[in-house]
Amino acid sequence: MPAIAPPVRIAVAPAVTPTVSPRPAPRSELSLEAPAEAKVGETVRVKVNASVPEGASTFSFMVRFDPRVWKFVQATQGNLMTEANAIAELRTDLEPLTGTVTVKVEQDGGPPVSGAGSLVVFELEALARSPAPSRIALSKVSVAAFDRGELPSIGSADSVIRVAQ
């Protein structure tokens, strides 16, 4: 009689369900663009640029500067909203003693804005020489959409401008 092989046991591993990490939501980024140098009495343009990967309708942020070195002249809308055919209102609130400008750009019509461009352009007049580069800071960045509320956003590093005689 032929020999019968003993039964073979096969271990079966439990089914593994792969986990898929959700992709982080794209972030809108605001950044400053300023010249490296200015002379006392000169007016410089400081751009707040925006990169908006998904539709946004409201932008708010603060810009701070040293009021002993700079005088706020004006703020105007950049090209981002107009190139997207968006109707928007620019509101600024200046606190001259602290050198703080609170800004809100709010869309009042048209589709939410996506893309990249200048959101706001500040004009600052150099009042006095600064021994060290003078910092222009961007903070409290908030980006929102009509239909989705607050969107992920970030403000980039500050800009510095050396003011010479």
- Over residues 89-144, the pLDDT tens digits come to 999 999 999 999 999 999 987 788 999 999 999 999 999 998 889 999 999 999 99
What proportion of the chain, given as a percentage, has pLDDT over 70? 85
pLDDT at 3 exceeding the cut of 80:
no
Contact criterion met (CB below 8 Å) for 29 and 50? yes
Q: Which residues contact 65 (CB under 8 A, 6 or more apart)?
A: 72, 99, 124, 134, 135, 136, 137
Query: What is the phi/psi pair of residue 32, to 5°?
Result: -100, 145
Mean pLDDT of 68-84: 94
Domain boundary assignment for the chain:
28-146
Which residue is it, tokens 């800009």? 159
CATH of domain 28-146: 2.60.40.680
What confidence category does residue 19 fall into, taking pLDDT thresholds of 50, 70 and 90? low
Whether residue 64 contacts residue 139, with contact meaning beta carbons closer than 8 Å, is answered with yes
Rounded CA-CA distance 154/159 in Å is 15
Contact by Cβ (8 Å): 51, 60 = no
Q: Which are the contacts of 12, defined by CB distance < 8 A and separation ≥ 6? A: none
| CA 55/CA 89 separation, integer angstroms | 17
* pLDDT value, residue 11: 54
Residue 150 has pLDDT above 70, yes or no: yes
Nearest to 34 by CA among 24, 43, 23: 43
| Residue among 130, 61, 52 at smallest CA distance from 100 | 61
Q: Which pLDDT belongs to residue 69? A: 96
Distance between CA atoms of 119 and 82, rounded to whole angstroms? 10
Please return the burial class of 74, using the count of CB atoms within 10 Å of its CB with bins 0-12, 13-18 and 19+.
Answer: exposed
User: pTM to 2 decimals?
Assistant: 0.82
Best-predicted range by mean pLDDT (8-17, 62-71, 80-89): 62-71
